[in-house]
Amino acid sequence: MKIGKLPATVVAIATYVVASGIFTQSGVVLEPAAVRFHTSLADTAVLFSSASAGNLAGMLVSTVIVALVSIRRILIGAYACLIVGVAMIVGSSHLALASGAMFLIGLGVGTGLSAGAVILAKLYVDRARAVAFLSTDCAFSATGFVIPAVAAAAVSAHWIWPTGYVLVAGIALVTLVAGLTITLPATGRARRDALAAEPVQSPRVFVTIALFAAGVVCYIIGQTTFTIWAPAVLHDVFHASSLQSGSIVSAFFGPSSLGLVTAAFVVSRLQPRAVLLFALVMGAVLTFALASISSVGVFFVLTFAFGFTTTCMYKLMISIGSEQLSGSPPPLVTALLLCSGIGTTLAPLLSGWLVKRQGLHASLWLAFAFHAATLVIVCAALANESLVRRASRLDAAGRS
């Protein structure tokens, strides 16, 4: 990495730290927020749906404005929204107002995250770009270990429930100040892809892409459902302490950092598809085990394994899915990334609806159902990909 790229790279990675800090503490603050607003846990989950909707809106908006506005201005707008949202939620005593504030927070997160991705895409190419994006995953997981632990400690000490959000707003402010004082890559009007010059694609290719997109949505719903509801399950079903139950999110994201580094090492030596299949199987097996056991100690051990073995599948699905069209066109990558925003938005809605009707423990079975669905869908995608490649080889042989 050249020294001149380092400050901008740090700012880009910081946008992922901010995103992780906001979303990974959801399960920790769910119960104290419900107490603050005098609502049920299922009703309070609308806060996280609002943040996820804002995140998705930020991603959508950024696909347009990044071609028209400088990255510096995008960061200013993004983190101004986030800081205003946090200020609103600290002073709010009404769930509806807090939901609006969470939408603003999510809008800032999604827009800032997109700006960070653009910075890295403009600074690096080829393998260096892959390493840069891997570093964002590691930063995301590491933050998911630290921030929920701090939020859990704040809840245990009876501080205000959005203490963790205030901390993340401080990180966003530092990131914004840094973005104002360093050199960032220039952006202009986006170059349109010359789609007409590309060879005509088989319709089956787009079936594969659609399956990978569905797989990303299902995986994110399953993972987000677990991180939202696992602390409440430990506290209310297994009767663990507030501090212990709150630390389960850190127990997931801590090992995932090591798992991502390990996955990068393994992928350099094995086929990415084989690594993805292993992660998919482990996701289904471990979520089934988590939903089936009743021991707090075993729950933590399984969560360690769950975080270590499965978090790599997100970027692997996006990577393999983007290979289906020659040149991996940016719109395809963006579409797959947006699927994660859709999954993050749907998870609190679906899980909140189920918990309201079937109880807290049903959330773990929902996490298993979506991980199992991801396994089935991605296996179908890989099988379809194999058929497309075989047909392409036969067609090439026939023409020769």
CA angle 35, 41, 47 (to 5 degrees): 90
Using one digit for the tens of pLDDT, what is the confidence trace for 241-273? 888 887 888 888 888 878 888 887 787 777 888
In the three-class reduction of DSSP (H, G, I as helix; E, B as strand; rest coil), residue 395 is classed as helix
Q: Where are the domains of the chain?
A: 1-185, 199-400
pLDDT, residue 370, reads 97
**Per-residue model confidence (pLDDT) at position 194:** 43
Contact 275, 309 (CB under 8 A): no
279-330 confidence digits (pLDDT tens):
999 999 999 999 999 889 999 999 999 999 998 888 788 778 877 876 555 5
Q: How far is CA 63 from CA 68, 176, 330, in A?
A: 10, 20, 10
pLDDT tens for 83-96 read 999 999 998 889 99
Q: How far is CA 377 from the centre of its chain?
A: 19
CA atoms within 13 A on the CB side of 327: 10
- Residue 191 pLDDT grade (very low, low, confident, very high; cuts 50, 70, 90): very low
Amino acid type, 345: T
Contact yes or no for 284/365 (Cβ under 8 A): no
Instruction: Tell me the C-alpha distance between 249 and 231, whole Å.
Output: 7
pLDDT of residue 330: 53
The region of weakest confidence among 49-63, 93-107, 205-219, 280-294 is 49-63
pLDDT surpasses 60 at 197 = no
- Classify domain 199-400 at the CATH superfamily level: MFS general substrate transporter like domains (1.20.1250.20)
Cα–Cα distance measured from residue 56 to residue 327, given in angstroms and rounded to the nearest whole number: 26
Coil vs helix vs strand at 328: coil
Token pair recorded at residue 174 = 């530092």
Instruction: Give the Cα separation of 88 and 69 in Å (integer).
Output: 27
Does the pLDDT at position 130 exceed 70? Answer: no
Place of tokens 């949202």: 85
56 versus 267: which is more confidently predicted? 56
- CA 35 to each of CA 27, 65, 157: distance values in angstroms, whole numbers, following the listed order: 14, 39, 15
Examine domains 1-185 and 199-400 and report if their fold is the same. Answer: yes
Residue 365 has pLDDT above 50, yes or no: yes
Q: Which CATH architecture has domain 1-185?
A: Up-down Bundle (1.20)
What is the pLDDT, as a whole number, of residue 329? 58
Q: What is the rounded distance in angstroms from the CA atom of residue 305 to the CA atom of residue 308?
A: 5
pLDDT of amino acid 244:
85
State how far the Cα of 100 lies from the Cα of 274, in Å rounded to an integer: 43
- Of 98-107, 210-219, 276-285, 341-350, give the lowest mean pLDDT range: 341-350
* Helical pair 203-232 and 313-322, crossing angle rounded to 10 deg: 170
Percentage of the chain with pLDDT > 90?
Answer: 40
Mind giving me the DSSP string for 334-354?
A: HHHHHHHHHHHHHHHHHHHHH
Whole-angstrom distance, CA of residue 113 vs CA of residue 335: 15
pTM: 0.72
| 3-class secondary-structure state, position 340 | helix
CA pair distance 269, 356, nearest whole angstrom: 46
Q: Indicate the residue type of 353.
A: W
How far is the C-alpha of 120 from the C-alpha of 10, rounded, in Å? 10
Interval 197-202 mean pLDDT: 54
Instruction: Summarize pLDDT for 28-46 with one digit per residue, the tens.
Output: 888 899 999 999 888 888 8
pLDDT at residue 126 in the model: 52
Name the band, by pLDDT with cuts 50, 70 and 90, for residue 196.
very low
